[in-house]
Structure 1
Amino acid sequence: MSTPFLVVGLGNPGPTYDITRHNVGFWAVADLADRYGSGFSMNSRQRAETTSVTLPGPEPLKLVLMKPTTYMNESGVAVKALATFHKIPADRVIVIHDELDLDPGRLRVKQGGGDNGHNGLKSIRQHLGTGDFFRVRVGIGRPPGRQAAADYVLAKLRPSDLDAMRVDAAIAADAVEFLAREGLDATQNRFNS
């Protein structure tokens, strides 16, 4: 079996943040785990909830799934610890995160780039020493009026918005599976909107 992919769902732990836009990454990795009947367990040494799944096929692919328990701004601590433990290089790391610069319902997959003001990405870049990991960017749109971005991403979602975001998280999970199997170009052609 080839080197596994480390799939990082960004979010904040605890019930206060469960239904906020900032936690769409958590929902996407939870969706992936559910698809393969796998449950998360707390890994206090790596400061994350983790599990792994194997994508079936002629060449099975292992995905190590993680939800950092460090809070968003320190996500890189957990990502670095788990990547080091599993000997996974940065170019086999896939990070799923919310993206203010994309409208809700839109998704983009890319490799590399800056952090665009996203503190989770900033922390991961800092701790991995590179930005050359994959990003599955789930659109959440800009806050209305003069609302601060931090207040917007951490506000509890209305039921209709929550349902739509759960669908977006499932599509992000689809994109991760496709990326692991088919590569970046094919994934961008199929999922980038």
Structure 2
Amino acid sequence: MSADIRLIVGLGNPGSEYEQTRHNAGFWFIDEFARHFSTPLASESKYFGITGRMPAPYPDTRLLKPMTFMNKSGQSVAPLANFFKVPPEQVLVVHDELDLPPGVARFKQGGGHGGHNGLKDIIRCFGNNNNFHRLRIGIGHPGHSDRVTGHVLGKPPQSERDAIERIIDESVRAVDLALAKGWVEAKQYLHSVR
């Protein structure tokens, strides 16, 4: 059975100074996913973000890049989800993940925010409902908590960026599989990528 996902959100920070930073891995995913599906993206001020509606066979699925800055992501996600009556269980949030190395991505549903400010705000704006799906794009950990902010807001070296882009390509295929055939096949595919 196909995954019933009606909203795919990629997290990041707006502005050219953040464009190439690790924290924008969710934006990179949405851009690649939209390109793969020939989905035009346009600014939507009422949702405080850049959105797109996927073509057939998934016309009920929307894409969103919040333009609110990371720690206010929920202020973009919640209005769009509410307007189109999309419950948290039908939302997939794509975000950078410190606990996975570059070149690795994993699906997950529910759970805490792990200190990720974008997830934290989305959970808050969903009335503390954390039951949405996540696609965690590995960016690696700098080794010490004092260095996390500089790491996520830093530009990865080319070797890491290449690894992140490769796993984003694989993740696009995996989400396509989820939409077509369901989470089991999508997870088997993505979680076996080496």
Whether TM exceeds 0.5 here: the answer is: yes
- Aligned CA distance change for structure 1 residues 118 and 146 (closer, same or farther; 3 Å): closer
1:121 alignment counterpart: 119
> Identical aligned pairs, as a percentage?
40
Q: What 5-or-longer segments of structure 1 have no aligned partner?
A: none
Q: How large is the Cα RMSD of the aligned pairs?
A: 1.9
SS at structure 2 position matched to 1:12: coil
Number of residue equivalences? 189
2:163 alignment counterpart: 164
Q: Give 2:32's aligned amino acid.
A: D
CA distance in 1, matches of 2:103, 2:19: 19
Q: Deviations for 1:55-103, whole angstroms, at most 9, x for unmatched residues?
A: 53xxx45320010000110001100011011111111100011111111
1:87 alignment counterpart: 85
CA distance in 2, matches of 1:102, 1:35: 25
Q: Give 1:46's aligned amino acid.
A: Y
2:154 alignment counterpart: 155
SS at structure 1 position matched to 2:142: coil
Q: Give 2:162's aligned amino acid.
A: D
Give TM-score scaled by structure 1 length.
0.90
- Aligned CA distance change for structure 1 residues 159 and 3 (closer, same or farther; 3 Å): closer
CA distance in 2, matches of 1:154, 1:114: 22
Q: Give 1:20's aligned amino acid.
A: T
SS at structure 1 position matched to 2:55: strand
Q: What 5-or-longer segments of structure 2 have no aligned partner?
A: none
2:66 alignment counterpart: 68
